[in-house]
Amino acid sequence: MMEHNLLLDAWKEGKAIGAFNANTYDDMEAIVQAAAELGRPVILMASMSCCKFMGIDTFVMFAKHLEKKYGTPVITHLDHCIDPELLYKCVDAGFDYVMFDGSNRSFEENCQMTAQIVRDCHEKGVFVEGELGVISGTEGPLKSDTGVFTDPQQMKEFIARTDLDTLAVSIGNQHGFYKGEPKLNFELLEVLAKESSIPLVLHGGTGIPVEDIARAVSMGICKVNVGTDIRATYLRTVSEYGKNWDGKNDIRGYITCLRDEIKKVAKYYMVSYS
């Protein structure tokens, strides 16, 4: 329980912990290096498809190894899980913190399923994040073109009935690259933060101006999720490296370059709310 208490500490101090989606050892290492250089804890997030691709035991093992290697707290998180069976496997494999995303279900079903998952996870000392309202864009198995803002009254009931630890809110944030200017609804965030007894989470961090992220954090956001920017940086770097390849078999040079670029992106977000 100790590591995710760091989230509550960050929240009380008006700070946040950076949460990044990772898919390979190299992006995981770059993100942890960035956090260690800033003297910050970090959250490494595995999507459902990352769990399938990498294997949940491998993800946990890499994260624990990196925590030891760099001497900074690393919290393992399952992102946007809609499958309770996978969620429980992750809990058993040693994840610190899991998200059950019931946002595509009815309010009643979301409440009941989240409450049961929270009960089971708390018995094992694992933190739980839920989602209320719908964040637009595509994330893992869920897709929404429009999104639905989080309703403050429903949120109060959801928190009371589920006893969850953190809540992902929909306030104009989107998953993926924004089409047009990202516009967070700070008036709504102010109401949500005032009414909420638990820390709130900002998804869809990619592309939100860092000043806006910092403002949201100062208002009650304790975790900022970034995925697309990490993946895009990974692929851009690989493709540029490939274009300029000199024919030598220097795979370590390429991985060093890849890690440096991802590290820069992770730091860019983290410094804004550390």
147 counts as binding ligand 13P under rule CB under 6 A:
no
Please check whether residue 238 is in contact with residue 258, taking contact to mean a CB–CB distance below 8 angstroms.
yes
- With CB under 6 A as the contact rule, the residue among 4, 10, 17, 21 that binds ligand 13P is 21
Sign of the CA dihedral with 108 first, then 131, 11, and 190 last: negative
Name the nearest CA neighbour of 52 among 14, 86, 11, 88.
86
Beta-carbon contacts of residue 244 (< 8 Å; ≥ 6 apart): none
For the CB of residue 247, give the shortest distance to ligand 13P in the complex, in Å. 35
Residues, the chain: 274
For the CB of residue 229, give the shortest distance to ligand 13P in the complex, in Å. 6
For the CB of residue 150, give the shortest distance to ligand 13P in the complex, in Å. 14
How many residues touch ligand 13P under the rule CB under 6 A: the total is: 15
Half-sphere exposure of 67 (CA within 13 A, CB side): 15
For the CB of residue 43, give the shortest distance to ligand 13P in the complex, in Å. 11
For the CB of residue 265, give the shortest distance to ligand 13P in the complex, in Å. 10
Active site residue 79: yes
- With CB under 6 A as the contact rule, the residue among 227, 237, 266, 269 that binds ligand 13P is 227
79 counts as binding ligand 13P under rule CB under 6 A:
yes
176 counts as binding ligand 13P under rule CB under 6 A:
yes
Contact window for ligand 13P (CB under 6 A) among 29-37, 119-127, 183-191, 224-232 = 224-232
206 counts as binding ligand 13P under rule CB under 6 A:
yes
Residue labelled with tokens 């897709």: 143
Binders of ligand 13P among 105-144, rule CB under 6 A? 139
- Cβ distance to ligand 13P smaller for residue 206 or 233: 206
- Cβ distance to ligand 13P smaller for residue 126 or 213: 213
203 counts as binding ligand 13P under rule CB under 6 A:
yes
Please check whether residue 18 is in contact with residue 266, taking contact to mean a CB–CB distance below 8 angstroms.
yes
- With CB under 6 A as the contact rule, the residue among 23, 33, 72, 228 that binds ligand 13P is 228
| Distance, CA of 48 to CA of 52 (rounded, Å) | 6
Active-site residues, by number, are 79
Instruction: Note the residues at the interface with ligand 13P (CB under 6 A).
Output: 21, 79-80, 139, 175-176, 203-206, 225-229
